[in-house]
Amino acid sequence: MKKILIIDDEEKISAAYRAALTKEGFEVWEAKNASQGMFKMISAKNIDLILLDINMPEVDGVQMREVISEYDPDIKIIVSSVYPVDEQQQAIPNADDYFDKAHGVDVLISKVRKVLECAV
């Protein structure tokens, strides 16, 4: 079972992602900020994918991306934000994919499957 960590300070968004991804057969962990994200990334072990919000309090997604890369450069990252995809790409270059939150969970599931190369 593939493990996904959602790092997003918006609880409604995180809950919607968790429900959709769990239904698709993924093991889902959640963190509402970067500190929790770091703790869960380490305690969950072998995270396959992180859904990373950009705009969060204290430590933002840009800084968290650096932490993730230092901890494990093989963890896949999909940036998930209300910003348009081109702005996401400028803020966090070289992520595995980018997701505009306005596009809904069906698009997110498709992107997750593609990045993880699975047909769950």
18-47: pLDDT as tens digits: 999 999 999 999 999 988 999 999 888 899
Identify residue 101 by its one-letter amino acid code: K
Q: Is the dihedral of CA 19, 88, 110, 78 positive or negative?
A: negative
Residues 83-103, mean pLDDT to the nearest whole number: 92
We report the CATH number of the domain holding residue 54 as 3.40.50.2300
Q: Please report which confidence band the pLDDT of residue 55 belongs to, taking 50, 70 and 90 as the band edges.
A: confident
Tally of structural domains, the chain: 1
- Please give the residue range of the domain that contains residue 10: 3-116
Distance CA 16, CA 92 (A): 23
119 has pLDDT over 70: no
Identify the residue whose tokens are 């980018």. Answer: 98
Indicate whether 62 pLDDT > 90: no
Asked whether 36 and 59 are in contact (CB, 8 A), the reply is no
Residues 63-75 pLDDT 10s: 888 889 989 999 9
Where residue 120 falls among pLDDT bands split at 50, 70, 90?
very low
Phi, psi of 27 (to 5 degrees): -85, 125
- Per-residue confidence (pLDDT) for residue 56, from 0 to 100: 80
Q: The whole model's pTM is what?
A: 0.91
Q: What is the dihedral of CA 34, 24, 10, 41, to 10 degrees?
A: -10
